[in-house]
Amino acid sequence: MTVRHLDDETLSAHLDGALAAAAGAAVEAHLAECAGCGRRLAMLTATVRAVAGLPELAPPRRLDLSFLAASAAEEPRAGGAASRADNVVPLRRLPAWAVPLTAAAAALLIGLPLLGGVPRGGGAPSTAGAPALRHIAGTPGLSLFYNGLTTAQAAPLNAGSGLAQGTGSGGPAADGIAASPTAGPAALGAPAPSTTQGLPTEAGAPRAYDAASASRTFAADGLTLSMSVDPASAGVGAEVKVSGSVSASRKVPVRALSLFAVSADGQRTLLGQAALPQGSLDAGEGATFDVRWLAGSTAEGNGAGSYTLEFDVDLPASASTPAHADTDARRCTVTPG
């Protein structure tokens, strides 16, 4: 019987407490019997400690804190890489929300077609190009998507289903999932006609996208998540306002809110992130934040195509989690299949 040693990636992840419980136990069992892997882990640990132990360094000059004096009405803008300067956005606390509770989970997604590049000719994209949305990770049944590219209909992902496509009726789902391509966050209803193909048209103001919104309650977590996409201005490559809101029905530990754009090839771009320093929401309390995104712009440049917008709520790690493995995003991912 041959001994299969632990690879570097496994050792590194084990060092960070980033392995699943079963995998971690298997690693421990191997380490108990394999001195060679034990030595490799010790070396890797020493390497990590060497970096962690590097001294702090005093800045060579004083920080310019004149921006602190600016009024809220004249918020300063960071220089340098301006496109990312907007990725940290204000989080504002909302008045108490009275929200019903029905379901369970902590991530919400809206997929919508976007054109961020050079306008193409009019007309709808072919069905062949329409993405099927596939639930590939996370807890089944926790995701919601709106596939405007294909049918402009909303369809919930059913619990346990490996594949879902935008062919549903678009009305509120039985378990309380609902999405609307045109209505506000609280307005759920029938899908809009298939006029949101995401392509600029010759008549009227060209639209690179349409408004979309979704809301869902997660009873087990005591959370309700809502997100919306608002075409802040018309035109190809125009700005989109993406908002994410969360409210709590009881005291819930919530650390951070994040909005992502996920391209068809799976590239995930953080659009904005906000955090709750107190680390929790009280019963009836809510928080929201929004980002303005130049539609289709990502770290890789400007790309036309279909994007999924994702709203994640990061919950604190469980008490038993090692210090560094500190995020439990309960994230679901939906990508074009």
Partner 1 sequence: MGATDELLLARCRDGDGEAFGALLERHQAMLYGLAVRILGDRDEAMDALQDACIKAWRAISPHGAGAAGGDHRGGAFRSWMSTIVSRTCIDRLRARRPLTALEDEEGNILPLPDPGPSPEMRSLAGEKARAIEAALRALGADHRAVVLMRDLGGLSYEEIAATLRVPLGTVRSRLARARVQLQGELLRRDPDILETPA
Scanning residues 56 to 95, which ones bind partner 1 (CB under 8 A)?
56-61, 63-65, 67-69, 72, 75-81, 83-85, 87-93
Does residue 266 touch partner 1 according to CB under 8 A? Answer: yes
For residue 51, the minimal CB distance to partner 1 (Å) is 4
The answer to whether the beta carbons of residues 119 and 296 sit under 8 Å apart is no
Q: By rule CB under 8 A, what count of residues binds partner 1?
A: 79
Does residue 294 touch partner 1 according to CB under 8 A? Answer: no
Cα separation, 152 vs 145, whole angstroms = 11
Q: Is 188 exposed, middle or buried (0-12, 13-18, 19+ CB in 10 A)?
A: buried
Could you tell me how many residues make up the chain?
337
For residue 31, the minimal CB distance to partner 1 (Å) is 14
For residue 229, the minimal CB distance to partner 1 (Å) is 20
Which of these segments, 142-150, 153-161, 162-170, 325-333, binds partner 1 (CB under 8 A)?
A: 325-333
Residue of 36, 129, 162, 279 that binds partner 1 (CB under 8 A): 279
Cα separation, 286 vs 97, whole angstroms = 7
Which one, 158 or 267, has the nearer CB to partner 1? 267
For residue 271, the minimal CB distance to partner 1 (Å) is 10
For residue 164, the minimal CB distance to partner 1 (Å) is 22
* Residues 19-48 within binding reach of partner 1 (CB under 8 A): 42-48
* Residues 295-314 within binding reach of partner 1 (CB under 8 A): 298-301, 314
Cα separation, 135 vs 111, whole angstroms = 13
Coil, helix or strand at residue 337: coil
CA atoms within 13 A of residue 28's CA, in its CB half-sphere: 8
Does residue 273 touch partner 1 according to CB under 8 A? Answer: yes
**How many other CB atoms sit within 10 Å of the CB of residue 105?**
25
Question: 74 phi and psi, to 5 degrees?
Answer: -125, 60
Which of these segments, 20-28, 160-168, 174-182, 326-334, binds partner 1 (CB under 8 A)?
A: 326-334
Write out the two tokens for 264. 């068809």
